[in-house]
Amino acid sequence: MTTTLLLIAASCALGQAAPVDEAPAVTAEPWRTSVDLSANHILAFDTDIDNSAASLTTNTTRFGAGVNFTRPDNRLAFGVGFRGAVAVYDFENGDTILAGLDDDPFDAFTRQRLELSGRYAFNETWGIFGLVGVEAAHESGADIGSAIQGGGTVIGTWTNSTRDLTLGFGLGGFTRLDESPVVFPLVTVRWQIDQQLRLENERLGLALTYEPNDDWAFGLFGRFDRVEYRLDENNSASSEGVLKDNRIAIGGRVTWTPECVDGLSLSLTGGVLVYREIELLDDDGDDLFAEDADPSAFIGVSVAYEF
């Protein structure tokens, strides 16, 4: 009897016990997605071309859009972007550069580029970054298929969190129109010197930026730029040839980031093209002319928006 009563009491106690809560479902944090839009216009003022009576003024408008995806732990990210440009090379006395050349021998040039990028952090110290791109750069009316170029970079990174310093070492390379591809070593840096001063790579160059507050930034930069365009088959200078423009720019930049529009920035840029070489190749890749241009000033304005 006693045993029976104990069993009944235990049964009642179990029946009245609070139910055990089920473990909450674990919801994976989603990847972060951001979109960036940008546009800028650069005017390179009139410059004289050596060994001729010719001069050149260049207007270039660039625009771009990109989508970036970042894993919640920030160790993995990748992105895809499209970049475009329209450039007008306004020559005066272009016929003095090369016999048979028109006074203003080139129509507008366009450039379209698709980029894929990615980065991965193995740990807090080591990581890897890669970028690959393909583009078509050509004179209006030229065959786009013959204007395709490609290139990319692979960089291993080392980070010292104490000094807020990241160094990168790797290789870069790109194909060229009617010439052999180029491969070269790369060294990159991003150093937050203090809360307001930062040194980092800017394309094939360096930029030093001072940010006194959240609204304004002031920068100095030096960089190398190169472009080459496939010419139209009816071009009087070189049918289906190549125009190349290599330059080194040194300048400064002021950027305003207004508080009223999150993600928006406006920049004014100015400086000097301290070195510039204009080359014209025929359709076999042989030089028709290669002349330096005198140093000239440039100014630019740009707008960027990220959300």
Name the least confident of 23-32, 113-122, 172-181.
23-32
Answer yes or no: is pLDDT of 1 > 70: no
42-56, 90-104, 119-133, 164-178: range with lowest mean pLDDT: 90-104
pLDDT surpasses 50 at 208: yes
pLDDT of residue 15: 41
Burial letters for 222-234: b for 16+ Cβ neighbours within 10 Å, e otherwise?
Answer: bbeeebbbbbbee
DSSP H/E element including 6: helix 2-16
The stretch 78-86 carries a mean pLDDT of 97
pLDDT of residue 3: 38
For residue 27, the model assigns a pLDDT of 58
Write out the two tokens for 6: 């104990």
Work out the pLDDT band at 14, boundaries 50, 70, 90.
Answer: very low
Q: pLDDT-based confidence at 106, cuts 50/70/90?
A: confident
pLDDT at 155 over 90: yes
Quote the mean pLDDT of the chain. Answer: 89
DSSP string, 54-95: -EEEEEEEEEEEEEEEE-TTSSEEEEEEEEEEEEEEEEESGG
- Residue 24's pLDDT is 55
Name which of 85-89, 102-106, 205-209 the model is least confident about: 102-106
Residues 6+ positions from 235 with CB-CB distance below 8 Å: 105, 106, 139, 241
CB 220 within 8 A of CB 210: no
Residue 67 pLDDT more than 50? yes
pLDDT one-digit tens code per residue, 227-284: 999 999 887 778 889 999 999 999 999 999 999 999 999 999 999 999 999 999 988 8
User: How confident is the model at residue 25, as a pLDDT?
Assistant: 53
User: What proportion of the chain, given as a percentage, has pLDDT over 90?
Assistant: 73
- The confidence band for 2, taking pLDDT boundaries of 50, 70 and 90, is very low
pLDDT > 60? residue 5: no
The 3-state DSSP class for residue 273 equals: strand
Give the confidence band of 197 by pLDDT, cuts at 50, 70, 90. Answer: very high
Which string of DSSP letters, residue by residue, matches 216-244?
EEEEEEEEEEEEEEEPPTT-SS-TT-EEE
Q: Which residues pair with 250 in a beta bridge?
A: 222, 272
